[in-house]
Amino acid sequence: MKNTKVTAVMNQKGGVGKTTTALHLGIGLAERGCRVLVIDTDPQGNLAKSLGYDPDELPETVADIYGKIMREEGVDPQEGILDGREGIQILPANLNLCPMEMTLMSAVSRESILKDYISLIADGYDYILIDCPPSLGLLTLNNLTAADDVIITVEPENLSAVGMQQLFRSIGMVRKKLNRTLEIRGILFTKVDARTNEHRNVMRQVREAYQDAVPVFTSWIPRNISIAEATGRGMSVYAYKGASAGARAYRSFTEEILS
Ligand SMILES: Nc1ncnc2c1ncn2[C@@H]1O[C@H](COP(=O)(O)OP(=O)(O)OP(=O)(O)O)[C@@H](O)[C@H]1O
Ligand SMILES: [Mg+2]
């Protein structure tokens, strides 16, 4: 019986709060006593940066792990994993991951490399969160193949119906061919400015459009300057300003995930 929950945080659109959500859900769950690993699969390396690490100074990254799994070499469960900041472990990424989309094209079982890795290390964790890059390429397909469920972050600003269609088509394809039991955990609105009509309208429209097919979380994350400032300082908003609207929103989202 497998007790580890593997959740991917995705949207092929850039800058919609994926990394911020993976990080703050991860730390929130760790504060509640869970053992959490967050895996960065974006060559931008923002996850490690958000916790104050220099992405150019990482001893090992997810790219090395991918290489080892593809060459069928052993992987030590602690290999490449950075320990402890704000209670979570992270497997970071950096620009070394860039060529991987190309390398994967010719790999055997090219969509299930990450799944193979996770099956080796999952025992040590209650939650494994995967931060997706802003694309629907092979790295994201690996994430969806490895995941039990997926959280889709959506910024109500300039929401693209076509973009959402592409996203759901990719999830549908993965379900059909690669991972039959993949679930959509829900849509999380991020960077919300509740004072603007546009944001309120988009949130209502999305709830109406998807209500039966896709859950939408009750919690939503406001656009909050403390979150942006915390990212710049290499810490979470919990550590930077624990009473801010951003910190409170991510805490209540964490509770919703646990409930
Ligand atoms: N709720 C928020 N309020 C204010 N700023 C936010 C909020 N959420 C995220 N940000 C800021 O917006 C920027 C983009 O957020 P983030 O990196 O989480 O998005 P992303 O979807 O992971 O982007 P990418 O697609 O590039 O990986 C970051 O600088 C972050 O600090
Ligand atoms: Mg990101």
Tell me the residue ranges of DSSP E strands in the chain.
Answer: 5-10, 36-40, 89-91, 127-131, 149-154, 183-189
Please tell me if the CB atom of residue 221 comes closer than 6 angstroms to any atom of ligand 1. yes
pLDDT digits (tens, 9 = 90+) for 145-189: 999 999 999 999 988 889 999 999 999 999 999 999 999 999 999
Q: If you average pLDDT over residues 91-96, what whole number do you get? A: 96
CA of 99 to the centre of ligand 1 (A): 24
| Mean model confidence pLDDT for the chain | 95
Q: If you average pLDDT over residues 72-88, what whole number do you get? A: 93
DSSP assignment string, 152-182: EEE-STT--HHHHHHHHHHHHHHHHHT-TT-
* Ordered domains of the chain (ranges, CATH): 5-258 (3.40.50.300)
Residue 7 forms beta bridges with which residues? Answer: 129, 149
- How much is the pLDDT for 83? 85
CA distance 215 to 167: 15
What is the length of the chain?
259
Please tell me if the CB atom of residue 12 comes closer than 6 angstroms to any atom of ligand 1. no
CA distance 226 to 113: 37
Establish how many alpha carbons lie within 13 A of residue 84's alpha carbon, considering only the half-sphere containing its beta carbon.
1
Q: If you average pLDDT over residues 225-250, what whole number do you get? A: 98
Residue nearest to atom 6 of ligand 1 (CA): 228
Pocket test for ligand 1, best of 9, 231, 241, 248 (most atoms within 8 A of CB): 231
CA distance 27 to 32: 9
Q: Which numbered atom of ligand 1 lies nearest the CA of 231? A: 31
Closest CA to 39 of 106, 125, 101, 128: 128
- How much is the pLDDT for 2? 67
pLDDT band at 194 (very low <50, low <70, confident <90, very high): confident
Please tell me if the CB atom of residue 219 comes closer than 6 angstroms to any atom of ligand 1. no
In this model, does residue 1 exceed pLDDT 60?
no
- Retrieve residue 203's tokens: 């949130």
- How much is the pLDDT for 211? 78
- Retrieve residue 218's tokens: 């009750």
The residue assigned the tokens 């703050």 is 24
Q: What does residue 248 show for φ and ψ, rounded to 5 degrees?
A: -65, -40
Please tell me if the CB atom of residue 232 comes closer than 6 angstroms to any atom of ligand 1. no
Please tell me if the CB atom of residue 47 comes closer than 6 angstroms to any atom of ligand 1. no
Please tell me if the CB atom of residue 41 comes closer than 6 angstroms to any atom of ligand 1. no
pLDDT band at 210 (very low <50, low <70, confident <90, very high): confident
0.95 exceeded by pTM? yes
CA distance 200 to 203: 5
CA of 9 to the centre of ligand 2 (A): 9
pLDDT band at 130 (very low <50, low <70, confident <90, very high): very high
In this model, does residue 237 exceed pLDDT 90?
yes
pLDDT band at 67 (very low <50, low <70, confident <90, very high): very high
Pocket test for ligand 1, best of 11, 18, 20, 217 (most atoms within 8 A of CB): 20
CA distance 10 to 13: 9
Encode 175-200: b = buried (16+ Cβ within 10 Å), e = exposed: eeebbeebebbbbbbbbbeeeeeebe
